[in-house]
Every structure is written in structure tokens, then in C-alpha cells.
């Protein structure tokens, strides 16, 4: 049964629809990411769950109770903001204690829970520091402790790692995942970083222009993108224009000098998408010329000019000799590695 449910939620600002027809069921303890470029409506959706915005249409339910009818102060959700929004005039411990104070938790229990929360995020001993005397990563941890100490029914994270440098971000990702696994809080993360979404979430909601493009596990969205947008947004991809050749029996899908049996149900022009790491150099297939090759340690990156336009190929550095710039190669891939979509011809 769904723990948190968004049912055809929409948000309009004036004539502009920012979020439209957003439906999602979140299971208890699940880690969900809203992934999309800026302006896709992911933060707006999060703010509707938090109660800072009211949905124009649709319903948001938590354990079958209408969440939109509850005042944001009474929803009991934990939120970590992009800017952390710590209270600068309070120490780390006072920041974390604030939510418990609002709930009239007894003083001794508050002290114990604050201590435990700060210890959990690795900030034991920082109780009396003020936020402005802490690094970005430490402030982030205080914000997380402040959100978690109230034992929220849902934890909402609004781009929490985007202000950290790359190395710290990676560390925090691992830590965030471990903490979430340990305490099992249902979590929704808003991010524009596909790596962050893939490494942290149980399921990803890919959004674009206020619509859901795809909901799926990180693997599903990466391996079987539901739309061109998803395949472009999640990792690199090659799109080749293909046509159906009906003169052959059975009909074949053709892109340049590459062809494969046409999938059932496909009649007109199509787009074939393949991830760069799934393409191999073979004896038959799409003819291409290598424009540049870049050595990246554990793999090689080739930029090719194929019959059907530019192509990227990634090959593992397995010690084998690789083609060099200017070589003519044939690009081949297994049919199960590609996804084929009908192509609208303008």
C-alpha cells in the first residue's frame, strides 16, 4: 500500500502550468529522487508536499490522510534546504533542538536526542559551534540532523548536496544513503544531478517541463529510457535515425549499413538509441570514422563520425589494441542493448 501518494497533482502560477498531472505512490522507507533540469517542476512538487505551496489540482495523501488539509507546521516532515537555512544565531545543538522544543519534548530527552542526532551525522563535539563557524559540509550535516531529529514521516531533500565540492558531495552521498538505510525514513530527493539520483535512489522520477517522463529504478531508467528526453538526460546516448525495410522478409530495421530484424509493432521511421559503452567495433555494422580518441584511464572515449551522424563509443581499457584516429571502423551492438522508438518525421 502506498505510504505517500500524489494523485494527479498540478500547480499553476497564473496561466503558467508548472507541474501537471503528477501521480506517484511512494512506499514506506523508499528513497525516491525527482530528477530533471532546472524549471522542470521538481522543487515545486517538493514544496507542495512540504506545504509551502498549495496544489492547484489533485490530492496528496500520507497514510491515506489528506496532507494538503494539514498546516505545514503540523505535517511533521523533515526538510533539508539547498541553502541549509540554519538559524545563524543558534548553536548547532540549538538548531537541532528547535524542532523538539516546538513539540514540547522534555528537556532531558531533547538533550539526549540532539546529542544522538549530531553523533549520527558525525558532528559529536560540535554542539556549541555556530553555523557560520562551520564548513559547508558541516552545515549540511547539521541541517540533516535538524530534519531527522524530529523523526519525520517523510524526509524531503531539496538539492542538499549541490553547494558542496565534488569530493565532499560523493562522501555525503554515501553517508546519506547509509543513514537513510539505517533509520529507514521515507525520503524524497530533488536533484538535477543524474549521478546523485542513480547512486542514492530506489526509484527515480524523471521530470521535464512539469511532466513525469518516467518512473523507474535507476537501472530501468538508464537501460530502458521511456523517451528521448530520459535517454539524453540520464548519461550519454547515441541516437541513430533508422527506417523499416519491408522488401525483406521478415522486415528489417536499417540504419546506414547496419540492420537488424524489425521489432514487432513498428511501422514507420524509428530512432535507435544505444549507450556508448554498449557499442563494439566489429566486422559488420554502421560504418564510421574515428575523429578523436581520448584516454581516460579505465576506459577509452571515441568520438566518431558515422553514416548516421556523430557517435560516441566507450571501450573498457582491457589491454587490447584500440583503433586510432582516422581509422574506419564498423559499429555493432546487440539488439537487446538498444531501445527503438517511433520517430516523428517533420
Partner 1 sequence: MSTAADDRSVRAPWVLTAPALMLFVGVLLIPLAMTVMLSFHDWGQYKGIEPVFILKNWREIATDPYYAEMFWRTFRIAILTTLLTAVLGAPEAYILNRMSGRWKSIFLLVILGPLLISVVARTLGWALLFGGNNGLVNKLLMSAGLIRFPIPFMFTETGMVIALAHVMMPFMVLSVWAALQRLDPQIENAALSLGAGPITIIRRIIMPQIMPGVLSGAIIVFSLSASAFATPAIIGGRRLKVAATLAYDEFLNTLNWPLGAAVATLLLVALVLIVVGSNALIERRYAEVFR
Taking the C-alpha atoms of residue 151 and residue 101, their distance in angstroms, rounded to an integer, is 13
Tell me if 3 contacts partner 1 by CB under 8 A. no
Tell me if 133 contacts partner 1 by CB under 8 A. yes
Q: Which of 96, 92, 337 shows the shortest CA–CA distance to 222?
A: 337
Question: Which of 38, 132, 249, 250 is in the footprint of partner 1 by CB under 8 A?
Answer: 132
> Minimum distance from CB of 160 to partner 1 (Å)?
12
Tell me if 76 contacts partner 1 by CB under 8 A. yes
Q: Closer CB to partner 1, residue 146 or residue 275?
A: 146
Retrieve residue 272's grid coordinates: 535507435
Tell me if 62 contacts partner 1 by CB under 8 A. no
62 Cβ contact list (under 8 Å, min separation 6): 3, 4, 5, 75, 153, 154
Stretch 307-346: interaction string toward partner 1, x if CB under 8 A: ----------------------------------------
Q: Which of 107, 101, 52 shows the shortest CA–CA distance to 81?
A: 52
Residue 192: CB atoms within 10 Å: 18
> Minimum distance from CB of 111 to partner 1 (Å)?
17
The answer to whether 131 and 137 have CB atoms below 8 angstroms apart is no
Tell me if 130 contacts partner 1 by CB under 8 A. yes
> Minimum distance from CB of 78 to partner 1 (Å)?
7
Question: Which of 8, 89, 224, 246 is in the footprint of partner 1 by CB under 8 A?
Answer: 89
- Interface with partner 1: number of residues (CB under 8 A): 30
Retrieve residue 187's grid coordinates: 525520503
Taking the C-alpha atoms of residue 73 and residue 163, their distance in angstroms, rounded to an integer, is 26
Residues forming the site for partner 1 (CB under 8 A): 50-52, 72-79, 81-89, 98-99, 102-103, 130, 132-133, 146-147, 150
Amino acid at each position: 500500500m502506498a505510504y505517500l501518494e500524489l494523485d494527479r497533482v498540478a500547480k499553476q502560477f497564473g496561466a503558467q502550468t508548472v507541474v501537471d498531472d503528477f501521480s506517484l505512490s511512494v512506499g514506506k522507507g523508499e528513497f525516491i529522487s525527482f530528477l530533471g533540469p532546472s524549471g522542470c517542476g521538481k522543487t515545486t512538487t517538493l514544496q507542495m508536499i512540504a506545504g509551502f505551496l498549495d496544489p492547484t489540482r489533485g490530492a496528496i495523501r500520507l497514510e491515506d490522510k489528506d496532507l494538503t488539509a494539514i498546516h505545514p507546521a503540523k505535517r511533521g516532515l523533515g526538510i533539508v534546504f539547498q541553502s541549509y537555512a540554519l538559524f545563524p544565531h543558534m548553536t548547532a545543538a540549538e538548531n537541532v533542538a528547535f524542532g523538539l522544543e516546538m513539540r514540547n519534548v522534555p528537556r532531558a530527552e531533547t538533550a539526549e536526542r540532539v546529542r544522538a542526532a549530531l553523533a549520527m551525522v558525525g558532528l559529536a563535539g560540535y554542539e556549541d559551534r555556530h553555523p557560520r563557524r562551520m564548513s559547508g559540509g558541516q552545515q549540511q550535516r547539521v541541517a540533516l540532523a535538524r530534519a531527522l531529529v524530529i523523526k519525520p514521516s517523510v524526509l524531503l531533500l531539496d538539492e542538499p548536496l549541490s553547494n558542496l565540492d565534488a569530493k565532499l558531495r560523493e562522501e555525503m552521498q554515501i553517508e546519506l544513503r547509509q543513514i537513510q538505510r539505517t533509520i529507514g525514513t521515507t525520503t524524497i530527493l530533488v536533484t538535477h544531478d543524474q549521478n546523485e539520483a542513480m547512486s542514492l535512489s530506489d526509484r527515480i522520477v524523471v521530470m521535464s517541463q512539469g511532466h513525469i517522463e518516467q518512473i523507474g529504478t535507476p537501472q530501468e531508467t538508464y537501460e530502458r529510457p521511456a523517451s528521448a528526453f530520459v535517454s539524453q538526460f540520464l548519461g550519454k546516448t547515441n541516437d541513430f535515425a533508422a527506417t523499416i525495410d519491408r522488401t525483406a522478409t521478415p522486415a528489417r530495421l536499417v540504419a546506414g549499413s547496419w540492420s537488424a530484424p524489425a521489432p514487432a509493432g513498428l511501422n514507420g521511421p524509428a530512432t535507435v538509441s544505444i549507450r556508448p559503452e554498449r557499442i563494439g567495433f566489429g566486422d559488420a555494422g554502421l560504418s564510421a570514422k574515428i575523429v578523436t580518441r581520448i584516454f581516460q584511464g579505465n576506459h577509452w572515449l571515441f568520438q566518431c563520425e558515422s553514416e548516421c551522424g556523430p557517435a560516441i563509443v566507450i571501450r573498457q581499457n582491457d589491454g587490447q589494441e584500440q583503433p586510432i584516429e582516422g581509422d574506419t571502423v564498423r559499429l555493432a551492438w546487440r539488439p537487446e542493448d538498444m531501445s527503438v522508438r517511433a520517430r516523428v518525421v517533420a
